[in-house]
């Protein structure tokens, strides 16, 4: 019996990857922003209609850490408890204090109506997550940030290809980040990017990701090594021609789930109005955690492995100095899973998944 995991990495024909790799061999250049990295940045900007200042990185967490480094100043950063752990750990790693604001139970993004009450004189930024590719209320967040003179960082790890009100979701905020991890819709094995439409921020971020270099022998900023390699860039360049097909195939699977899963005992994420979604994940929310555990057990027996994503609620992490209660996030994190979703998932497998869930909930 084959395993059906929550996701499966999309791989291009190996011949096409090797052909791109050969350019690195010919150039004898594997890192330090070679031709393939520069080409990937240009093609991503063109594909997603991004404005400027995109920097690809070696993974998707370093951009978050750099953004917090840029704006944090060892102060408080308002953030969501419902995200992957990297969102919170990046704040703590950079010696800032995460201040949690609970989530909207429908969109699963940070509740923009609760942000202002959490702002203090020590608040330096808001770090919000576009959950499962579902945009935050960027207009309200921008108004709040401007009113209080604080910065906005978006963890847009799941957002490759997402469009909100006619433009890429990456164009919102002071800084936006993305992940190119192997589990993502578009990937470079490991990788990511950071983008800012403000030149002064982009200049600092560029130096941050390259040891602080300002020329071959000058160091203007403190920095780390966040550079993407040519090997990673070759993977991205070989996948990019397939991205529209990937979106299309994932949409078919999501539509199949929507049409056939019983909705009587499940809640689905509400995609924000004005969004062209990328079908990055398919989350379902059960009425109780016991229902979830029972269904997951039955799925696992058939070697089907959904993921409890996101669990636990980040405000409960053991290394946080002060624990706060986030009732909506904590409740949903106990009752939500993401179902298998990837190119190549067959209809017979979908039928099996749906049959188990519908039977257990009837």
Band (pLDDT 50/70/90 cuts) for residue 359 is very high
Residues 141 and 47 in one domain: yes
Same domain, 93 and 111: yes
Q: Is residue 255 part of a domain?
A: yes
Looking only at the bridges linking them, the beta strands covering 336-338 and 266-268 are unpaired
CATH value at residue 93: 3.40.640.10
Decide if 113 is inside a domain: yes
Query: 312 and 249, same structural domain?
Result: yes
pLDDT tens-place string over residues 9-32: 999 999 999 999 999 999 999 999
Which of these three, 223, 241, 259, is where a domain ends?
A: 241
Q: The domain spanning residue 283 has which CATH number?
A: 3.90.1150.10
Query: Are 199 and 314 found together in one domain?
Result: no
User: For the segment 149-174, what is each residue's pLDDT rounded down to a tens digit?
Assistant: 999 999 999 999 999 999 999 999 99
Residues 197 and 126 in one domain: yes
Three-state SS annotation for 327-361: HHHHHHHHHEEECCCCCCCCHHHHHHHHHHHHHHH
User: Is the distance from CB of 278 to CB of 160 less than 8 angstroms?
Assistant: yes
Cα(229)–Cα(57) distance, rounded to whole angstroms? 8
- The percentage of residues in the chain with a pLDDT greater than 90, rounded to a whole number, is 94
Residue 1 is assigned to a structural domain of this protein: no
Edge-to-edge strand ranges of the sheet holding 76-79 = 54-57, 192-195, 175-179, 151-155, 123-129, 76-79, 97-100
**Is pLDDT at 47 greater than 90 in this prediction?**
yes
pLDDT at 92: 98
pLDDT in tens, 48-97: 999 789 999 999 999 999 999 999 999 999 999 999 999 999 999 999 99
Domain count, the chain: 2
The pLDDT of residue 221 is: 87
β-pairing, 97-100 vs 76-79, is: parallel
Answer whether residue 168 is part of any domain: yes
Q: Could you tell me if 180 and 236 are in contact, meaning their C-beta atoms sit under 8 angstroms apart?
A: yes
Q: Is the domain of 230 the same as that of 259?
A: no
Partners of 326 in beta bridges: none
Q: Which residue, of 241, 274, 289, is where some domain finishes?
A: 241
What local confidence, expressed as pLDDT, does residue 287 receive? Answer: 97
pLDDT of residue 318: 94
- 228 and 334 in a common domain: no
Residue 256 lies in a domain: yes
Report pLDDT for 51.
Answer: 79
In a domain, 3, yes or no: no
Which of 226, 241, 256 is the last residue in one of the domains?
241
Same domain, 249 and 180: no
Asked if the model's pLDDT at residue 1 lies above 80, the reply is no
- Tens-digit pLDDT profile for residues 214-269: 878 888 889 999 999 999 999 999 999 999 999 999 999 999 999 999 888 999 99
Residues 270, 178 share a domain = no
Cα gap 266→338, rounded to integer Å: 12
User: How many Å apart are CA 291 and CA 285, to the nearest integer?
Assistant: 10
Work out the mean pLDDT of the chain and round it to a whole number: 97
Residue 134 to residues 20, 100, 145, 159, 265, Cα–Cα distance (Å): 33, 19, 20, 8, 22
Residues 220 and 255 in one domain: no
The sign of the dihedral angle between the CA atoms of 210, 212, 215, 218 is negative
Rounded CA separation 208/9 (Å): 30
pLDDT value of position 145: 98
* Residue 301 counted as domain residue: yes
- Residues 202 and 145 occupy one common structural domain: yes
Same domain for 233 and 254:
no
Q: Domain of residue 332: give its range.
A: 243-361
**pTM as predicted:** 0.97
pLDDT tens for residues 289-300? 999 999 999 999
């Amino acid at each position: 019996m084959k395993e059906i995991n929550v996701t499966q990495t999309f791989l291009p024909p190996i011949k096409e990857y090797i052909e791109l790799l050969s350019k690195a061999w010919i150039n004898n250049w594997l890192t330090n922003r070679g031709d393939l990295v520069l080409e990937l940045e240009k093609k991503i900007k063109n594909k997603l209609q991004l404005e400027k200042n995109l920097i690809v990185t070696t993974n998707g967490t370093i951009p978050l850490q750099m953004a917090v480094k840029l704006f944090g100043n060892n102060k408080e950063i308002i953030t969501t408890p419902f995200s992957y752990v990297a969102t919170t750990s990046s704040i703590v790693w950079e010696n800032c204090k995460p201040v949690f604001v609970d989530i909207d139970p429908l969109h699963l993004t940070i509740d923009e109506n609760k942000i202002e009450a959490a702002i203090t004189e020590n608040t330096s930024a808001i770090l919000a997550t576009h959950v499962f590719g579902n945009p935050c209320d960027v207009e309200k967040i921008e108004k709040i940030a401007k009113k209080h003179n604080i910065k906005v960082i978006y963890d847009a790890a799941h957002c490759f290809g997402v469009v909100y009100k006619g433009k890429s979701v990456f164009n919102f905020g002071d800084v936006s980040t993305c992940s190119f991890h192997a589990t993502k819709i578009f990937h470079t094995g490991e990788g990511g990017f950071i983008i800012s439409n403000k030149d002064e921020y982009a200049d600092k971020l560029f130096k941050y990701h390259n040891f602080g270099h300002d020329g071959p022998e000058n160091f203007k900023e403190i920095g780390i090594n966040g550079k993407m390699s040519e090997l990673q860039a070759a993977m991205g360049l070989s996948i990019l021609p397939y991205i529209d097909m990937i979106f299309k195939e994932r949409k078919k699977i999501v539509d199949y789930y929507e049409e056939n899963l019983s909705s009587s005992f499940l809640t689905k994420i509400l995609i924000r109005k004005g969004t062209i979604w990328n079908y990055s994940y398919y989350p379902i929310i059960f009425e109780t955690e016991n229902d979830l555990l029972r269904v997951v057990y039955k799925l696992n027996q058939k070697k089907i492995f959904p993921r409890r994503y996101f669990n636990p609620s980040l405000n409960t992490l053991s290394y946080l100095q002060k624990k706060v209660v986030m009732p909506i996030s904590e409740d949903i994190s106990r009752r939500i899973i993401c179902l298998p979703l990837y190119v190549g998932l067959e209809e017979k497998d979908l039928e099996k998944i749906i049959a188990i869930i519908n039977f257990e909930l009837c």
